[in-house]
Amino acid sequence: MEYPGAAFHLTVRHQDLGASVAVVGSEGAVTVRALVLADGIVRNVEVARSSGSDVLDRAAVEAVRGWQFTPAARDGVPQDAYVTVEVRYVVR
């Protein structure tokens, strides 16, 4: 089962990537695919499309791994489902 693409929108205001990334000004978007279990816990997180930066890719995977989702449901029964999210990093 897959979450619908427009099911949610999330803005993460700040994530500490370390001083070296901030100095370099790394920006990019990472597409991450994860399995959301019927209890909302995230498992099996992987990079579906890289940003080109290993640091940003790892940060996106770690961020999504720590999120809690409302599980997908079929006929009112929570189901395991894959979700694909794009995590954008912008230096401000």
Contact 31, 47 (CB under 8 A): yes
Supply the DSSP string of 13-64, one letter for each residue: ------HHHHHHT--EEEEEEEEEPTTSBEEEEEEEE--S-HHHHHHHHHHH
Q: Which H or E run contains 87? A: strand 81-89
Kindly list the structural domains of the chain, giving each domain's residue range(s) and its CATH number in brackets, ordered by start.
19-89 (3.30.2420.10)
- Binning pLDDT at 50, 70 and 90, where does residue 88 land? confident
How do residues 49-70 score in pLDDT, each as one tens digit?
999 988 889 889 998 998 888 8
Is the pTM for the entire model greater than 0.95?
Answer: no
How far apart (Å, rounded) are the C-alpha atoms in residues 92 and 90? 6
